[in-house]
């Protein structure tokens, strides 16, 4: 459901803007700074330079990763990229700028989707998954639907990710990797353990560009390069790696 309204103050630039029922832009491509000002006014906010710092950072993140940052990652970006980042990444500072929440209100004004944790998305689709038939659209190397291991039956999504993350263990990872013709080495385990650490710290599985960025900081250029990671996981370090690591499929732009 969508609504339309005219803004007299910004009529030349805005004309008629389509919004969703929650007041967000129906088409993200319609966003510009004048529309942001209008959306802010509807929220009772007057945009100042401090607001624009956060809005621009939100949009830069979305442009790079094709997904809005969750709060922990947003605060990390602010802390690292903005002057006085430690202050500006505090909850008090962000709540003062966006009283209804930097993720909900900030992304609305920035013309972006609301970020969601993987667990929230999994919860939305778990019923659909249970009812759907496990028939792959094309031949795949990973498990689809259900498979048996050590006399137990495990359920996976159509993309091969475990439905119940608590089922995962290292023996199961070895078995799932062998299905994809991968023999896990210490180098594979380093990436798998990093994926799992990232997920349990931030609540999302990183897409490849985000994975490379964070691994580069901690493990260096050699172990975070495109060639190195794809040598280990030819099906994609995020897509294939997440399956073997027992994590949800990454959101946004994945393996490219």
For the chain, what is the largest distance between any 2 Cα atoms, rounded to a whole number of angstroms? 68
Burial 200-239 (b: 16+ CB within 10 A, else e): eebbbbbbbbbbbebbeeeeeeebbeeebbeebbebbbbb
For residue 15, give both structure tokens: 């004309």
Tell me the C-alpha distance between 127 and 252, whole Å.
22
Per the residue annotation, which of 100, 253, 254, 256 is the catalytic one?
253
Tell me the C-alpha distance between 122 and 251, whole Å.
11
Tell me the C-alpha distance between 96 and 229, whole Å.
41
Contact 244, 157 (CB under 8 A): no
253 catalytic per annotation: yes
Tell me the C-alpha distance between 144 and 207, whole Å.
21
Query: Three-state DSSP class for 1?
Result: coil
DSSP state of 167: G
Residue recorded with tokens 């659209």: 137
Task: Give the number of other CB atoms < 10 A from CB of residue 63.
Answer: 9
SS (H, E, C) 123-151: HHHHHHHHHCCCCCCCCCCCCCEEEEECC
> Which residues are designated catalytic?
253
């Amino acid at each position: 459901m969508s609504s339309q309204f005219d803004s007299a103050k910004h009529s030349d630039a805005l004309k008629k803007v389509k919004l969703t029922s929650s007041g967000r832009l129906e088409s993200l491509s319609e966003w510009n700074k004048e529309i942001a000002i209008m959306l802010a006014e509807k929220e009772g906010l007057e945009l100042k330079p401090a607001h624009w710092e956060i809005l621009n950072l939100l949009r830069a993140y979305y442009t790079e990763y094709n997904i809005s940052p969750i709060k922990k990652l947003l605060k990390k970006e602010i802390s690292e990229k903005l002057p006085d980042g430690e202050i500006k990444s505090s909850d008090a500072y962000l709540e003062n700028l966006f009283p209804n929440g930097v993720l909900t209100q900030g992304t609305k004004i920035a013309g972006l989707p609301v970020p969601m944790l993987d667990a929230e998305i999994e919860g939305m689709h778990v019923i659909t998954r249970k009812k759907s038939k496990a028939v792959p659209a094309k031949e795949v190397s990973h498990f689809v639907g259900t498979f048996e291991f050590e006399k137990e039956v495990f359920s996976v999504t159509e993309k091969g990710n475990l439905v119940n993350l608590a089922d995962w263990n290292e023996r199961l990872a070895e078995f799932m990797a062998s299905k994809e013709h991968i023999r896990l080495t210490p180098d594979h385990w380093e990436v798998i353990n990093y994926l799992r650490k990232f997920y349990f710290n931030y609540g999302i599985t990183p897409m490849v560009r985000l994975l490379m960025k964070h691994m580069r900081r901690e493990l260096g250029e050699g172990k975070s390069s495109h060639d190195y990671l794809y040598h280990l996981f030819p099906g994609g370090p995020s897509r294939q790696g997440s399956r073997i690591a027992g994590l949800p499929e990454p959101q946004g732009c994945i393996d490219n």
